[in-house]
């Protein structure tokens, strides 16, 4: 029986040398397009739209009045006395007062023209101090 | 005629090639990692300077349940890349909130210098839309930078 075996020059392997190149190309594409989600911030809970108004004893209120320049004035209850503080002091002031009165509610009253970051600074201080009863208000007639 | 190496040519069993057979595997592993972590952005990031806060927390909510509202220094408002006026916020947010089974969290992404008046109006709009869970988007602030302020 005559054997006619042709010697083939074509390789019988799948060329895999370019596989890494393809993978790297895809890798670079995903590296460039990846945007890691940036979902973080200071969480608050707004009151329900038809929530009942509750009368609160003024002695349980602590006002943080934020002025346009970023000055923070602290006013306690009905007292007219004003204590100016810096944003760094908010946390300490709240901790001291809260230790004396556990029903204390923080009222952050911001001037309409005050920058957002000043309000964030105060809110940050209060949340760092673990305050959970915070009311965000705007100064009327400002 | 001198013979190179004194005639002793040692047969080395170690290959002189860098093994590259696992290169593709490494690349594919990285590729799969990035494919899995990639989230194509849902809305365009507006040009704002983030306020910083130390108490910054990660929002523990699915991405689909977070709605970003952008506020720029120019007073522009954007929801899903759409420029809006303040009065349009409530009618747009209310149906989105209803569709989400009241799980929706609104992330207020405002520039740090925006006057508080706008933030207050935004809160009123959201309150009217029935939204209760709101996040003021901030960057994490380190204690070191805070001390310098």
Task: Please answer yes or no on whether A23 and B120 come within 8 Å at the CB atom.
Answer: no
The residues that bridge with A137 in the sheet, in sequence order, are A109
Overall pTM surpassing 0.80 (yes/no): no
Among A37, A116, A124, select the one facing B116 at the smallest CB separation: A116
- CA B128, B133, B136 angle in degrees (round to 5)? 100
pLDDT band at A19 (very low <50, low <70, confident <90, very high): confident
User: What is the C-alpha R_g of chain A?
Assistant: 32
pLDDT band at B1 (very low <50, low <70, confident <90, very high): low
DSSP secondary structure, B25-86, as one string: HHHHHHHHHHHHH----SSPPP--PPPEETT-EE--S-GGGEEEEEE-TT--EEETTEEE-G
Following CA atoms B66, B42, A119, B117 in sequence, which dihedral angle do they give, to the nearest 10 degrees?
A: -100
A116 and chain B: CB distance < 8 Å anywhere? yes
Lowest mean pLDDT among A36-40, A61-65, B30-34: A36-40
Task: Please answer yes or no on whether B115 and A39 come within 8 Å at the CB atom.
Answer: no
pLDDT digits (tens, 9 = 90+) for A76-112: 888 888 888 988 889 999 999 899 888 889 999 999 9
ipTM over 0.85: no
Among A27, A39, A87, select the one facing B107 at the smallest CB separation: A39
Chain A contact set for B34 (CB, 8 A): 27, 30-31, 34
Give the C-alpha separation, B40 to A32, whole Å: 11
The residues that bridge with B110 in the sheet, in sequence order, are B71
Mutation for A interface: B28, B53, B113, most A CBs within 10 A: B53
Residue B49, pLDDT above cutoff 60: yes
pLDDT value of position B149:
47
């Amino acid at each position: 029986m005559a054997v006619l075996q042709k010697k083939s020059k074509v390789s019988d392997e799948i060329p895999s040398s370019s596989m890494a190149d393809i993978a790297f190309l895809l890798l670079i594409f995903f590296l460039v397009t990846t945007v890691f989600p940036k979902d973080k911030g200071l969480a608050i809970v707004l009151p329900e739209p038809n929530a009942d108004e509750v009368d609160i004893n003024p002695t349980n209120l602590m006002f943080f009045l934020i002025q346009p320049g970023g000055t923070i004035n602290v006013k306690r209850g009905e007292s007219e006395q004003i204590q100016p503080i810096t944003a760094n002091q908010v946390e300490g002031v709240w901790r001291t007062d809260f230790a004396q009165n556990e029903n204390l509610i923080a009222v952050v009253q911001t001037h309409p023209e005050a920058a957002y970051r000043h309000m964030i600074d105060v809110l940050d201080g209060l949340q760092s101090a673990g305050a959970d009863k915070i009311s965000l208000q705007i100064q009327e007639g400002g | 005629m001198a013979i190179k190496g004194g005639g002793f040519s040692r047969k080395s069993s170690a290959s002189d090639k860098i093994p590259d057979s696992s290169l593709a595997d490494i690349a594919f592993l990285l590729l799969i990692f990035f494919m899995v972590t990639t989230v194509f952005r849902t809305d365009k990031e507006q040009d704002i300077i983030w306020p910083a806060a130390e108490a910054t927390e990660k929002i523990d909510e699915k991405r689909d349940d977070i709605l970003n509202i952008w506020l720029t220094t120019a007073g522009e408002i954007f929801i899903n890349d759409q420029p809006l006026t303040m009065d349009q916020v409530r009618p747009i947010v209310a149906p989105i909130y209803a569709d989400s089974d009241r799980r929706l969290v609104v992330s207020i992404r405002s520039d740090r210098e925006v006057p508080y008046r706008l933030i207050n109006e935004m809160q009123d709009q959201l309150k009217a839309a029935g939204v209760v869970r709101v996040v003021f988007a901030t960057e994490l602030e380190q204690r070191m930078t805070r001390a310098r302020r």
